[in-house]
Structure 1
């Protein structure tokens, strides 16, 4: 069963499931495909027969990413086309709790730390910087420079405190040490822009990158001379990818080719299945941490879809519908 939520005149850029509530998710969306106009942040709940709107807020510019707090089930952070980060609270119906404006161009990525004892936010921007913030969004704690292109993706390590990865239009994957404010490793991962990266949930040395060159590469940080695996199949740029929280070698990727693909990079061939249920770019993707193999995605076709792919639930190849 596929559950569908429609967001008229709002084109989905990012979706993330709640770390606290099994049926809750957040959608970051933009008007006019994010080129102009305003944005919206929507909080949604799964119901027995569909998806219900819990709360929505409008913002003066497109919203391109969203991340839930790992410390408070009501709080989430958004990244905007006006260079702002906004802190939102589902118990507050009106304005954001706080707005931070330090980036000078679009904020395309936000992420909240998952490691025990930390409570930090990282943001990545078209201004070629990443910034680390306290959870109240006061002045940024540090600004990390080194990329020579747009920073499209910033993701905290789920294993190593004070460490995050970033992916950029300069074709590199970089690993950062927040305590020292330095780049520990720069990997020339693709000969094209990298739009997304993610950490393996079971191995602190494994990351994946997704690129405009239509490929996903799996990297072992102990030896980055060549990828562990190179996954081919998408026909347009890969917009976002996520490792499964339930399996070390399984991940999902979504693309401008309107599809979501599921992979097991330990297998030959690695492609488990393909889901083609959108009519526009698929930009947002996440696994539900609470419901095994449930996936949420969002698209420029103004829909959010929640489903369990057959290829992950023992039913063979995924649907092509």
Structure 2
């Protein structure tokens, strides 16, 4: 460790951050985590729910648990089983804690809405099915500031951006010649970065449908890379050297010639998954198959990426979930919480700054991104950009019981379709139930007004 790093660690308020696993009874047991060979986190969490991709015969499934349902999993707890192939990635909507999107080997992405109180029957009907990829959908990520905008990336090398409120694709990009490893939006959602099997790191402007910056081989190894945007617009990357050592990089996308920082870590096969907290400018590195979590602070001073410490345990991790900042416990000076997946359980790990005072620590908790979207889809498409709407953490965060989704156009999220086919156009000869939307009822009235049976009531 260099002298500069030691001095920086002495000055940093995060130098004593430590990880602490919860007690056994506060974990989640008897969860059969998926064994699919895909480098996703297999886990997604928000202040209300924990979702985990699980083993399933005859298709794909994932589990959704209220955070309060700790302990051994009830055998009757329902699975979400709508996909025809293994589920590869899941992501909670940042603007509605009851909405989750999933991608699968069956070439579709699906959007699901869950009640606060889960029932006992399996859930198999999504509210939106997004069909546009010709191969498996391995990456799902929501827009950070705009309502109802979802990005999907598939093994067909396509990136599609959807308005899930209407079920329509808005933007399609085919700039990648090979498999896309990961996608990450920047803070206001004006750009996203990608890493690809062709060893290039790209920065894309989706509304211009073009790559605005790219770097060939930011890491010289041929193994998969990951890249994320930091809050100031730089790119933090993880990859491998030519000698298969794991490596970190920090890059300025306006000047890709030389890295801001490049740091070799260790020799291991596991792809490093980075989880970033923009409020503290800290990044947590979790390698699949590792039994440790390293964390670093990114600063404006050399060496720019400062190693802080490592949380170590005995068991390797299959995947990891990262709680949004509004879900941490401010009364315990918890600055992050990760959900570590084992073979058959999920173990929350709290990252805590030791403080003697019980008062609210303003320096640890600046205002953080709240659940309110800053833009509507139409505004974002027209070229507007807004930073996330912030909220105070002083009194902690209480998840709202329900959030209404308001979209200018017809929003399929507001009424659950009875079948998947209800997303398609209606046939006048079809026997339509009364619960169909207004436009469908009016269409039927116009087309078959002379032949409607007196027993059918088409009330509006």
After superposition, the C-alpha distances for 1:169-214 in whole angstroms (9 at most, x for unaligned) are 22222111111111111122223243432222x32x1222222552
1:172 corresponds to: 200
Q: Which whole-Å CA distance do the structure 2 matches of 1:209 and 1:29 have between them? A: 28
- Structure 1 counterpart SS, 2:67: strand
What is the Cα deviation at residue 153 of structure 1? 1.2
Shift in Å, 1:131: 1.2
d(CA) in 1 for partners of 2:79, 2:101 = 13
1:277, distance to aligned residue in structure 2 (A): 4.8
* Deviation string, structure 1 residues 106-138 (Cα, Å, up to 9, x no partner): 2221111112x4531111222222111112472
1:282 maps to 2:282 = no
Aligned to 2:279: 246
- Summarize the alignment of residues 14-25 of structure 1 with structure 2, pairs less than 5 Å apart: 14-18=42-46, 22-25=47-50
Aligned to 1:126: 155
- 1:113 paired residue among 143, 156, 160: 143
Deviation (angstroms), 1:257: 3.6
Give the 3 Å change call, closer, same or farther, for CA 230–257 of structure 1 in structure 2.
Answer: farther
- Measure the CA separation in 1 of the matches of 2:62 and 2:43: 10
Unaligned runs of 5+ in 1: 316-321
Q: Which residue among 147, 171, 181 is the counterpart of 1:142? A: 171
Gaps of 5+ in 2: 1-20, 329-333, 356-460
- 1:245 shift after superposition: 3.8
| 2:411 corresponding residue in structure 1 | none
Please name the residue that 2:335 is paired with.
293
After superposition, residues 228-243 of structure 1 pair within 5 angstroms as 228-234=260-266, 235-243=268-276
Question: 1:125 and 1:300 mapped to 2: Cα distance?
Answer: 27
Higher strand share: 1
2:96 paired with 1:75 = no
Contact 2:110–2:130 (8 Å) recurs in 1? yes
Could you tell me which of 52, 61, 64 is aligned with 1:40? 61
Moved more, 43-52 or 235-244: 43-52
In structure 2, distance between residues paired with 1:90 and 1:265: 36
8 Å CA contact 1:127, 1:151 repeated in 2: no
Aligned mates of 2:44, 2:276 — CA distance in 1: 13
Change (3 A) 1:29 1:155: farther
Equivalenced residue count is 300
Determine helix, strand or coil for the equivalent of 1:127: coil
Provide, for residues 48-83 of structure 1, a one-character-per-residue CA deviation record: whole Å limited to 9, x for no partner.
965878763123222121112233332110011222
In structure 2, the CA distance between the partners of 1:57 and 1:49, relative to structure 1 (3 Å rule), is closer
* Change over 3 Å in CA distance of 1:29–1:90 after alignment to 2: same
Paired with 1:137 and 1:170, the residues of 2 have a C-alpha distance of: 34
TM-score (norm 2): 0.58
Tell which structure's C-alpha radius of gyration is larger.
Answer: 2
Matched, 1:272 2:309: yes
Q: Secondary structure at the match of 1:140?
A: strand
- Cα distance in 2 for residues equivalent to 1:56 and 1:79: 16
8 Å Cα contact 2:340-2:349 kept in structure 1 = no
Listed as ranges, the matches of 1:149-168 within 5 Å are 149-161=178-190, 163-168=191-196
SS at match of 1:87: strand
Question: 2:251: which partner in 1?
Answer: 219
Query: What CA distance in whole angstroms lies between the structure 2 residues aligned with 1:71 and 1:207?
Result: 24
State which of 353, 374, 383 in structure 2 corresponds to 1:313.
353
What's 1:318 paired with?
Answer: none
